[in-house]
Structure 1
Amino acid sequence: MTTEAAPQGDGPPSLPAETRAAIEALEVELSLLWRRARASSHAVSRSVHPDLEPAAYGLLSVLLNQGDMRLTELARCIGVGKPSVSRQISFLEGVGLVRKEADPRDGRAQLIELTPRGLAKMRQVHDGRQQAFHSLLAHWDTKDLTTLAALISRLNADAGG
């Protein structure tokens, strides 16, 4: 195996050939995983509501996992502009999955929260996703699962997530 470094230039810093090859192989596998995740995200979104976009499902997931929050906090959580989130929240409110309530800490602000219907639907979908994930990974060694989770966490942290 060669360890010659990549030439210096405008690209990434000089890396050994083995490291470059490993990063390229990882990129291929992550790209495939992300494509599959996007396709799954569309299907899951539609299971909540037939007209629901994956971006709106992401907002519902944040509310399910983190609880009620202001629109600006919600936008910051998912890294999207406030106008995009506002449009999605209007849709979600219109189909009865979220509602706006006065923020008890500041009556001028509003908290976005799941409605009982939204909470029930999200729990149902979340439970189904968990069951599918458990089925997919049940044959994996616990140590491998722990290692994979730690490595993905590290990748997310390095990516700013």
Structure 2
Amino acid sequence: MTTGASPQGDGTPPLSNETKAAIEALEVELSLMWRRARVASHTLSRSVHPDLEPAAYGLLSVLLHQGGMRLTELARSIGVGKPSVSRQISFLEGVGLVQKEADPSDGRAQLIELTPKGLAKMREVHDGRQQAFHNLLAHWDTKDLSTLATLIGRLNEDGAR
């Protein structure tokens, strides 16, 4: 086990060589997974609309799963600035995938929602993505799937802090 001060300088205990090696191996595997996810994101985006950017697909996905919301909430939910989201929403509105409605709780504000066309397209793409995951993971043991989901959830929680 390695001794001495934490390289982070934050009071956490130093990492053993085994832990460092395990973290580095995990980083390699996650990097590969993220690269594959980016390719899949581009493919999914293009299946919704040929000119759709992956960032806009992410906005549509949030709206599909969480429902209509204000622009500021949407930007916060994906961790980007309002101007970037505003440009994407303008594009999505122009191609008929989202619409702006008056917020019933505050008439001065607007909610961004999927249009019926946007909802149908996103459900179609979502169903296809779900089927692809089922095909990919059908041979996995249920306990392994649950463990992986729990660990990725924990990683996501730590990443959100």
**Which band: TM-score by shorter chain?**
over 0.9
Map of 2:25 onto structure 1: 25
SS across alignment from 2:139: coil
Structure 1 stretches of 4+ with a deviation exceeding 4 A read: 6-13
* 1:140, distance to aligned residue in structure 2 (A): 0.2
Determine helix, strand or coil for the equivalent of 2:160: coil
Matches within 5 A, 1:1-161: 4-5=1-2, 8=5, 10-11=7-8, 14-160=14-160
RMSD of equivalent CA atoms: 1.4
Gaps of 5+ in 2: none
Paired residue total: 158
Q: One-letter code of the match for 2:88? A: Q
Following the alignment from structure 2 to structure 1, what is the Cα–Cα distance between the partners of residues 76 and 104? 21
Unaligned runs of 5+ in 1: none
Q: Identity of aligned pairs, percent? A: 78
For the 8 Å contact 1:6–1:17, the answer to whether it is kept is: no
Take 1:95 and 1:31, find their aligned partners in 2: how far apart are those partners?
A: 33
Q: Deviations over 1:90-129 (max 9, x none)?
A: 0000000000000011100000000000000000000000
Give, as a single letter, the amino acid of the residue that structure 1 aligns with 2:62. V
The one-letter code matched in structure 2 to 1:129 is R
1:14-40: CA deviation from partner (whole Å, max 9, x where unpaired): 210000000000000000000000011
